[in-house]
Amino acid sequence: MMIHSQATQSDRLLLRIDRINKAYGGVQALQDVSFDVGRGEVHALCGENGAGKSTLIKLLTGVTRPDSGSLVMNQRALPVGNVRGCEAAGIAVLHQESTAFPDLNAIDNIFVGRELRVAGGLLLARDAMRREAAELLEQLGESIDLTVPLGQLPLAQRQMVSMARAMSCQCQLFIMDEPTASLSAQESQKMLALVKQLKEQGISILYVSHRLEEIFQIADSVTVLRDGQYVATHAVEDLHDRKLIQLMVGRELDELTVRQTVSQSKSDETQKPSTLKVDQLSRQGIFQDVSFSIAPGEIVGMAGLVGAGRSEIARAIFGIDPYDEGTVEVNGQMLPGGSVARAKHVGMAMVPEDRQHEGLVLPMSVQNNLTLANLRDLQDFGWLSQTRERGQAKRLIADLDIRVTDPQLPVETLSGGNQQKVVIGKWLASMPNLLILDEPTRGVDVAAKAQVHRLIRELADEGMATLIISSELSEILTLSDRILVIHQGRIAAEFEGATATQEQLLHAALVGSAS
């Protein structure tokens, strides 16, 4: 009877992670981490940024080798340090940051390195690859022009192409690292439905997410890492959100409280001095007749589906992209279109959605990235003062609680949440009075998210005008004094932050009018 029980248990076990250790330059990223993943199981992996989740993913996918311990899949040792070997063993991964090639189209991105061929391998099977790519994207509910270079597509669509590439492999373990971080609420639900579909097909999912509501919606079990160490594994029905947060951060986390609204009626709004005035801003085929204002100390949220034009409006305001008609006025000064330098000069700053490609210079140090937007103020007689640069970086690291052992380390070595703090810190160093934040907590853990939210409120209390774009409706509702909902490039509705509901915002985003 015992033998039969052990055999059954073995049949249900897909992956065993046993006493894994990994250190980088004396810093212990993982220490004696052990847990199992069952067949057909959605196993959530939780922890703060820097807990070791990304390191574990790199070990499982063959990007790097463990210092000690074993990784066993289907009762066979994984070929550690061998990416192709791990893929052949049945492991596929959807990374948090898009790994797509921006100059290649969707078809080439899905099949790069394993193209379908005919004529004995001499020719590419273009028609077959096009059909399969279209079918994969259709399963994801995406309609993408397969001939357009991915660099011209929104971040969310690039991520969906990466998802299609992962799906095209016959995998047994699908690692999903923050798969909904770039998606709208509607697209996130599609992704979660896909996870359930994969589970029904017997595929195991190792699901990494900071969105706790997703964990409780789809996971069977949860493993928590903290500071590179294993904390616990629980069945999801044995947990609640506060208990899970406590396991992740090692303490109780204070509830976020909604900041008292400063917005007034619209008639009063026109009488207040505005930090930002946008009037009938339009760009053909992208957004039309966008008009709004933000007063000092006011937080305006911008909600809407991915692709509705939210980021494009923000980029035009900051001067990254051109616009065809309308005006942008900051602190009473009219801005010329397409001039980031002028926008920065009048006190505007923008934290972009895509931190790795637009917010950071990854090979450069944390210190250099933190001071990059403020170099002129750190000069003495035209020369950069190393002492002042180090001092500013040190202050920002302390103020934002950026977890880094040495400011001279490349910023690419930091976790996603800490990279996000560096982007925010870089622009805060320029002392702006108007701050645009596009997905400010994408891929950030619950503790870091609370820190970012508190920082945004503190800046608003000090008079900062803030525009926040977020796909997380709860974040928009928590922070905003007023909320603008964008539908197909137009402002479809406006709500008071204190009284708006998720249902109202989603209805306006989907239908194009207030409910």
- State pLDDT tens for residues 386-419: 888 899 999 999 888 888 889 999 998 887 778 8
Q: How far apart are CA 67 and CA 438, in angstroms?
A: 38
Res 405: pLDDT: 87
Contact yes or no for 145/176 (Cβ under 8 A): no
Confidence of residue 312 (pLDDT cuts 50, 70, 90): very high
Same fold, 2-249 and 254-347+433-515: yes
Q: How far apart are CA 485 and CA 471, in angstroms?
A: 11
pTM for the whole structure: 0.62
pLDDT at 6 over 50: no
Fold (CATH) for 2-249: Rossmann fold (3.40.50)
Q: How far apart are CA 33 and CA 59, in angstroms?
A: 12
DSSP class of 240? -
pLDDT at 20 over 70: yes
Fold (CATH) for 254-347+433-515: Rossmann fold (3.40.50)
Higher-pLDDT residue of 154, 484: 484
* Helical H segments across 352-466, by residue range: 366-371, 386-400, 416-428, 446-461
Res 514: pLDDT: 74
Res 262: pLDDT: 46
pLDDT at 75 over 90: yes
Higher-pLDDT residue of 515, 273: 273
Residue-averaged pLDDT of the chain: 86
First to last CA, the chain: 61
Confidence of residue 315 (pLDDT cuts 50, 70, 90): very high
CA 73 distance to own-chain centroid: 29
pLDDT at 294 over 70: yes
185-200 and 502-511 helices, crossing angle to 10°: 90
Res 141: pLDDT: 74
Lowest-confidence segment of 8-17, 294-303, 432-441 by average pLDDT: 8-17
Q: How far apart are CA 216 and CA 225, in angstroms?
A: 17
pLDDT at 101 over 90: no
* Helical H segments across 440-501, by residue range: 446-461, 473-479
User: pLDDT by residue (tens digit) across 245-287?
Assistant: 888 877 655 544 444 444 444 334 445 689 999 999 999 989 9
* Helical H segments across 140-264, by residue range: 155-168, 185-200, 212-218, 241-249
Element (H, E) at 371: helix 366-371
Higher-pLDDT residue of 181, 148: 148
Q: How far apart are CA 279 and CA 326, in angstroms?
A: 6
Strands 325-330 and 333-334: antiparallel
Confidence of residue 379 (pLDDT cuts 50, 70, 90): confident
Please state the domain extents for the chain. 2-249, 254-347+433-515, 365-431
pLDDT at 233 over 60: yes
Strand partners for 226: 229
